[in-house]
Amino acid sequence: MEAEDPGLPPKGGMDLPQDGVDLPEQKLSPGSTDTGEDEPSATLDEPVELLGDQSNGLLSVADGKADVQEELTETREESSEKDLSDSASTDNTLEDSSEFSRPMVMGSGPPGEEEEVAVQPRPPTHRDEDVTAESWRAHRKHVFVLSEAGKPIYSRYGNEEALSSTMGVMMALVSFIQSGDNSIRSIYSDDRKLVFVQQGPLVLVSVSSTLQSEQQLRQELLYVYYQIISMLTQASITRIFERKKNYDLRRLLTGSEKILDRLLNLVESDPCFLLGAVRCLPLQPALRDSLGSLLQKAITPNLVFSILVARSQLVTTVQEKTVIDDCRLEPTDLHLLLNLIGATSAFQTGEIWTPICLPRFNPDCYFYAYISYLDADCTVCLILLSTDKESFYSVSDCKKRIEEGMRTQNYLQALSSGLKSPSYSVAMVGAPDLRHFMYKPLDIPDNYRQLPQFTSPELEGPYCSESERHRLFDLYHYLHSRIHSTSRPLRLIYHVAEKETLLAWVTSKFELYTCFSPLVTKAGAINVLTKLLRWIKKEEDRLFIRYPPKYSTTPNPGKGSKGPRTEGAENGFFGGL
């Protein structure tokens, strides 16, 4: 499935990246042309603090006790062919510096008497797998990312270097088909599907033995591509490969492998990705409205989105009124943002200020994300997205006001206590034959333009083991592929499997997937569906965000800038809408 066109681009509030992962020194409108020849390298003022979690992208950590922001260091290298060579360079400080591979030295005595402590070897991971072993071939799904020149960039299992010849064969297939003015989309064998997706200079390949359709596998590859774009931006990647086609992109993605690994684990087990929707935390409507009101009042110029999440479940979100009239935050962008936060322990250290690209909103520009956990257990997270990279302190002040209001009204305690118990049980529906369901409402009023949402209960027996959960979601994937088939879409499917019976139903108002005990009849399943829909209707205010709040910020020229700017340039993002 091809990606939709990104949302309306900003006219000056967000920055076009000069290259790679740096923050630009000058703000450019998306329509302008960047002819810079420098390839930046991202460095941190104190990189050792983030060494344990080297996620790509620039992080600025502000210690809450000291209330000090560690400024991002913008470093530019001299322009030359040497900048993009495959030999050792300083493109990525954390990768190329040997400082981080030396043993730690500890001691309190005179110089020269320190005790050298050897670093413990890291435990073996799936990246150390032997790619010639049968166990490597037996994985349910492989994902490979390579460049047009055949350079390996990422592999879900095994080391990229050991797979360079395999990726070379994949690129040879792509090139051979392209030589005939065509493009390769998929290859089918008895027990495998190979799906190819080419996005600009990157080629993504999925080798799967699951029940997923080609369309679903293609969507997963697009998620991987979007996650890479969220860290580097599409403009940067395009510019890099225009200058040198055999550039090794791994140098800019050092430490991001675990982000992609976590993403691929989630797309196999989390219905969010299958349904293209966001899971909301079940919450009393009065509490959700109060939290939305807090976010609605804590605003500052150039603040575009305020998002409150708890364990990757959406609590509430508030969007700038001018933005919501023309575009919205896509579920894909929120999924990628939450995956980045969940995979990076550095976000738990304090207040984080980092550039982040939302590929479905605009793949070529950065937002500036303020990320902070509000509780000691790091379960409730506040995300504030701004278009001004100089507005850290004003956005941080918004967080303080939100946090103070939540503590004063005991909202944080109510959220934390609610997270200690499971979301909700399918037994609450009162239908003994019903084991599980996934429900996505489709009748969303256009004037609210909120995120598509869905709800589902906790998985219970007999789906407690990982293998049983995989089996159930394989069946859901199969039903979803039949419902959304491009050649022969269906609206209602009654499917009898070996251990359960499933029913999928799509109308103009909802999309529903249900799992029953194996002995249920068609008439019994229809009766359960009727009861389930009545229960969802009664609980919809608790399960969904029905009326998302909005706010309006006003231009505030001159604030947070290093030089004088006009009113239009200060808030050009909103002026363009």
Q: Say if residue 115's pLDDT is above 70.
A: no
pLDDT of 439 reads: 97
At residue 200, what is the residue type?
A: G
- Share above pLDDT 90 across residues of the chain, in percent, rounded to a whole number: 50
pLDDT of 78 reads: 38
The model scores a pTM over 0.85: no
- Share above pLDDT 70 across residues of the chain, in percent, rounded to a whole number: 71
Query: What are the two backbone dihedrals, phi and then psi, of residue 515, each rounded to the nearest 5 degrees?
Result: -125, 130
> 252: which DSSP letter?
T
pLDDT per position as a tens digit, 51-78: 334 334 444 444 443 333 333 333 333 3
C-alpha–C-alpha distance, residues 565 and 570, integer Å:
6
pLDDT (mean) for 367-380: 91
Could you tell me the pLDDT band of residue 15, with boundaries at 50, 70 and 90? Answer: very low
Supply the mean pLDDT for the chain.
77
Q: Which of 283, 278, 389, 401 is nearest to 333 (CA)?
A: 278
Q: Say if residue 45's pLDDT is above 90.
A: no
pLDDT of 346 reads: 84
pLDDT per position as a tens digit, 138-191: 899 999 999 998 899 999 998 888 888 888 899 999 999 888 888 899 999 988
Sign of CA dihedral 543, 426, 223, 226: positive
DSSP annotation string for 330-375: -HHHHHHHHHHHHH-GGGGSSEEEEEE--TTT-TT-BEEEEEEE-S
Lowest mean pLDDT among 53-62, 179-188, 427-436, 488-497: 53-62
Query: What are the two backbone dihedrals, phi and then psi, of residue 390, each rounded to the nearest 5 degrees?
Result: -95, 5
Question: What six digits make up the tokens of 430?
Answer: 């009162």
Query: What are the two backbone dihedrals, phi and then psi, of residue 449, each rounded to the nearest 5 degrees?
Result: 50, 45
C-alpha–C-alpha distance, residues 484 and 477, integer Å:
10
pLDDT per position as a tens digit, 449-481: 678 999 999 999 899 999 999 999 999 999 999
Could you tell me the pLDDT band of residue 548, with boundaries at 50, 70 and 90? Answer: confident
Q: Say if residue 520's pLDDT is above 90.
A: yes
